[in-house]
Structure 1
Amino acid sequence: MNYLAHFHLAQQLASRSDLDHQGLLIGGLLGDFVKGPLQGQYPLSWEVGIRLHRRIDALTDSHPRVSECLQKLPVNYRRYGGIMLDVCFDHCLSRHWHKLHPSSLNHFSQDCYQQILVHKNDYPRAANRQISFLAEYDVLNMMDNWHNIEAMLARIAKRIPRETPLSHCGPELAKLLPFIEQQFLKLYPALQEQLYQEFYEAPDAKSNYTGTNKTD
């Protein structure tokens, strides 16, 4: 999942539990930039959000429906298929937003920027730049436009030193989008429920908050 899905899943979990909304959102950003064991270098609520981000990635990457999507890609795309699907899933989420969230995508996006930007100077430099970029160009609110998806993949390609298909894979992904969307719509509700069970309902859920989660 990419940023829109990470932030949405964080907000949904917070709305169903007593977990800190802002902390989960911040962790949804920092999960891409903070590596290794979490040992209290950030506020506890942020680290819960980072753990949530990592768990979302792990569950998604290992899910059979994601594997089915990857198998549909041309062979030379599959090395970067995870990146392609992450961005496509955000596109699918934005297309079905009205079914999955009570407020508008614009309202949700502006709230995310506001909640996360307030502490941006406490983030790793790359995370500070990333949230500033997302807010300045209102990226979260534009994921329903396929041209923006292609542009995002092209920007990611520029950050990778080797040659990749990311800058020109848009037309091929567009052909596969109906299948990807179908898989996403089955995967996403199940992912929401599993996260809620793991982070709130499970008897040992507190291990996700206190740093004893062995998946680190």
Structure 2
Amino acid sequence: MNFLAHAWLARGGSDEFLYGNLIADGVKGSDLSAWSVEVASGIRHHRRVDAFVDGHPVIHSARSRAPQTLRRYTGIALDLMWDHFVARQLQLDVVESRLVLRCYHLLEQRPAPARLALMMPVLVEQDWLHRYVDFDFTCRAVRGIGQRLSGPNRLAELVPWLEADYAGLERDFQRLWPAVNDELEVTDTGKGSSFNRP
């Protein structure tokens, strides 16, 4: 669910590639034949980034600090926190991002997969990507996504932990974000393969 972070990592690609990165969480399965080559490439790129991040020691450390009964829900909450920290790094409270506007244009012009069809128009209309710079808004977004899940709102129950561990999560991001960018830089220069487009 970290749309802004994935958009930033895909910003150098074509619009189709960027769009694939934005919608990837709404696409299930390995058969991507219904999508254009570039959109499918963007979806795969998003998935490879997720796999790298999910396996990173920073993520294991962050999850280990979350309340034990809620750890299975931390992935979504952490995704939104990473968007918050990216928004802060990009100073989206004082600068209107051309990348964000590009993302909104793509999402307005192309239909989202069914799993994201209700969320995407709201994300654009309410300007979530700029507003993630505000921690209170980010916490409201975490609670709101939790309302869409069945059963009790476990994501809302995670918000007090996000507030209490904010400094620790910021340190996690400061370790994680350069690692992701370094991995992309290595593979873009042909020294690795995990993020190379097929």
TM-score by length of 1: 0.81
Superposition CA RMSD, Å = 2.4
Please tell me whether residue 146 in structure 1 is matched to residue 135 in structure 2: yes
Per-residue deviation, 1:178:
0.7
Q: In structure 2, what is the Cα distance between the partners aligned to 1:170 and 1:25?
A: 30
Q: In structure 1, what is the Cα distance between the partners aligned to 2:195 and 2:141?
A: 36
Residue-pair matches, total: 197
Which residue in the other structure is 2:6 paired with?
Answer: 6
The 5-angstrom pairing of residues 107-146 of structure 1 reads 107-120=98-111, 123-146=112-135
Please tell me whether residue 52 in structure 1 is matched to residue 41 in structure 2: no
Q: In structure 1, what is the Cα distance between the partners aligned to 2:45 and 2:141?
A: 24
Per-residue deviation, 1:205:
7.6
Among 141, 157, 174, the alignment partner of 1:168 is: 157
Q: Per the alignment, do residues 203 and 148 of structure 1 end up closer, same or farther by CA in structure 2, a change over 3 Å counting? A: closer
Per-residue deviation, 1:181:
0.8
Contact 1:5/1:90 (<8 A) preserved: yes
Report the residue type matching 1:55 in the other structure. R
Which residue in the other structure is 2:166 paired with?
Answer: 177
SS at match of 1:167: helix
Which residue in the other structure is 2:80 paired with?
Answer: 87
- The runs of 5 or more residues in structure 1 that have no matched partner are 15-19, 210-216
TM-score by length of 2: 0.88
Per-residue deviation, 1:8:
0.9
Per-residue deviation, 1:195:
2.6
Per-residue deviation, 1:65:
0.7
Among 183, 186, 197, the alignment partner of 1:197 is: 186
Contact 1:199/1:205 (<8 A) preserved: no
Q: In structure 1, what is the Cα distance between the partners aligned to 2:193 and 2:52?
A: 18
- The runs of 5 or more residues in structure 2 that have no matched partner are none
